[in-house]
Amino acid sequence: MTDSITSALKIAASGLEAQSERMRIVSENVANARSTGETPGSDPYRRKTVAFTSEMDRLLGADLVRIKSVGTDRSDFRMEHDPGNPAADKDGYVKMPNVNMLVEMTDMREANRSYEANLQVIKQARELINLTIDLMRG
């Protein structure tokens, strides 16, 4: 069994790792928000999604957060009239990615806040460790 400060550090570290991956996926979605297919009728970029799971660490005696899977959003593509685009069909319509920038910005903000909260836990745990060491010296 480990002490509670070490447990807090490991739990927060698992949260940092998961939210970091989530921010990477959201960034990829934002970067590809206008990425169409290369040929007429081909599918554009499909939005990626992240699913989390809790995983019991028996040694720690606590649940850690992990990425369960990175999937794809199966919602429909938007159609946009752009006859000059190489991916336009015979009527001039292009399939656009199913990325909603408002959703992506909301996800990024939430992931960033969760990341910062986990970082604060780590900072506090380190401060407690340093205070304990100082007390033991004096």
Query: What DSSP assignment string belongs to 66-130?
Result: EEEEEEE--PPPEEEE-TTSTT--TTSEEEE----HHHHHHHHHHHHHHHHHHHHHHHHHHHHHH
What pTM was estimated for this model as a whole? 0.86
Mode of pairing for the β-strands spanning 62-72 and 93-96: unpaired
- Domain of residue 16: give its range: 1-137
Instruction: Provide the residue type at 111 as one letter.
Output: A
Residue pLDDT, tens place only, 13-51: 999 999 999 999 999 999 999 999 999 989 999 999 999
pLDDT at 2: 55
Q: How many domains, in total, are found in the chain? A: 1
pLDDT above 80 for 1: no
